[in-house]
Chains A and B, each alone.
Chain A
Amino acid sequence: MAETLAPPRLLPSGDSAITVEFSRTIDDAANRRVLALDRLIAAEPIAGITETVPTYRSLLVHYDPVQITFDALAEQLLARAAKAPPSESGTRRWRIPVTYGGEHGIDLEDVAKALKTTPDEIVARHVAGDYRVAMIGFTPGWSYLSGLEKFLHMPRRKDPRLLTPAGTISIGGIQTGVQCLAGPSGWHLLGRTPVRTYQLHRDPTFLLEPGDAITFSAVDAKTFAEQDRAAEAGEFVAELVTP
């Protein structure tokens, strides 16, 4: 099977990092190969690699040029990419509570209007989805999920908001996401979760890993408030579902 896979492109990101690019578009198969290579590098380390950063379509490999050159590392990365099986093993599945609409999801009604349906239908479809953490990036814990059904695909806002709340659950383009910290966003806000994907002084500090499976469950605002207090005190709130 491995011999049918096209080799990734190796792109220089300065003198201390290589971008291993499997695809130029959002593509679940490419993402699985990214995560497979990431796991293989963790299992069979290459001296000189300091850190790896998986994204939708590429693996950014940081390295120390004092220990290994671009050419030597490129060769080893290509060899590993050729043998990394693009399958998942030991996937964790999380159920994440979300309160949809109202003050917690100020765009829900507009999204329903734009998609010519009702807010309830949007919530039902969003909750029904089976998602995967394709990457975590931008700010701590910001988890980009793949698996949003086509009906819910929607272009980003023309005018990004400069400040959206911590815990926001939103959709943008063909993705949905769990935002951890307050910050700017051009996505459409459907709801909020009490789950902290990043919380200092909690073990683990980061809850989700790239490759984790995610489902959402709708909760009312009162439950959200209770769970938000529990989460603030260090509880996960997100539920680890037995596969």
Chain B
Amino acid sequence: MSKLVVSSIGPASSVQDGGRPGSQRYGLTPSGAMDRLSLAAANALVGNDLLAAAIEIGPFGAAFTARGGAVRVGLAGAPRNADIGGRAVAFDGTATLAEGETLNLGFARGGSFSYLAIEHGIEGEPMFGSLAVNARAGLGSPYPRPLQSGDELKTQAASGAAERRIELPAATDAPIRIVFGPQDDEFAEENKKLFTDSEWKISATSDRMGYRLEGPVIKHLDGHNIVSDGTVNGSIQVPGNGQPIVLMPDRGTSGGYPKIATVITADFGRFAQISAGRPFRFKAVTMAEAQAEAIKFHQLLRSLPERLRGIEDFGLNIEALRDANVAGQAVSAIDAATWQVAVP
């Protein structure tokens, strides 16, 4: 049996998959990947189920060593310097680690989370149908906590298949789209306008529960307490200090602050990838637009296996390299720094 051993890893790195919805009525948060599209792309590369468990790697560097045989991996999400024993590894591509070889990953650039999928998946005991780590509830497998050095992720030996790349839509730094509600009537029109007209930054204190935003103070019409009601990924609640918090996959399932708006499904992963301190904006869209985008997003996920290409198709074709850039992050697709490392 092959395994990937964690040689070194920063905080905020854990095994994540499509999450465990279905028990929110009991207070069990779904967890799951912050950026689903990048998780799915990493899995598609190595032929796994699109929402299978993979390693979600936070902004800091990490290193993994193959033991017990070769291990084949797929890498997607926020790009980083990546090499195996000095041999450059492309993002949005696969690589095979021979027994004893180490994959070294640098800091995330132009994003926060990268996804390392392992061919044949990660062996573990599903809890509520999921391996996703939710440390607070003691859930997750093979470890119910963030990954640490020395952890072992068991899998089957690499297939020896040819290495691949995946063509993803070009990245965009367009505004993050929202639909107002469910409690936007707790805010005056001028404050809703302030919310969409202003530039925001994500605070460094953000985590998988929530991203704290820094920007103008959003005032409530009538106090900041509501009787708790349900939350979703992307709920934007406004606590007493007027600085919104966007709820992320480890959110509480209910909350007692008014929620001015919700990030749309299609933009949630892109929002999750915005680095702390990087300015961005919101844009309100109609329900019809949001739902049309959600359907397009689901179609994009399903199309990922058709977007696989042999590495020879990429060559030094600049257009293809640009198209192969990650979609799950708010950076310019034509910023050379984000794709140069993708050249093998």
Contact = CB atoms under 8 A, between A and B. Distances in A.
Contact of A58 (B28, B229, B265): B229
Contacts of B235: 13-14
B162 interface: no
A56 B139 CA distance: 27
Contacts of A70: 287, 291
Given A15-B264, A51-B25, A65-B291, A60 B229 contact: yes
Interface residues of B: mostly helix, strand, loop or mixed? mixed
Contacts of B99: none
Nearest to B134: A140
Interface in B22-36: 22-29
Contacts of A181: 136-138
Interface stretch (B46-54, B86-94, B293-301): B293-301
B38 interface: no
Contacts of B29: 139-140
A138 B228 CA distance: 9
A23 B23 CA distance: 24
A135 B264 CA distance: 27
A66 B298 contact: yes
Interface stretch (B65-73, B102-110, B212-220, B252-260): B252-260
B: interface residue count bin: 35 or more
B153 interface: no
A53 B259 CA distance: 17
Nearest to B177: A15
A219 to B, nearest CB: 25
Given A14-B264, A183-B136, A198-B27, A19 B229 contact: yes
A183 B137 CA distance: 10
Nearest to A56: B227
Nearest to A15: B290
Contacts of B21: 50-51, 62
A40 to B, nearest CB: 15
What 9 pairs across the A-B complex have the smallest Cβ distances?
A60-B230, A137-B254, A14-B262, A11-B182, A15-B290, A206-B26, A12-B181, A53-B230, A19-B182
9 contacts: A12-B180, A13-B259, A17-B232, A19-B182, A21-B182, A24-B226, A51-B22, A70-B291, A135-B228
Interface of A: 11-17, 19, 21, 23-26, 50-58, 60, 62, 65-66, 69-70, 135-142, 144, 180-181, 183, 198, 200, 205-206, 210
Interface of B: 21-29, 127, 136-139, 179-183, 226-235, 252-255, 259, 262-265, 287, 290-291, 293-295, 298
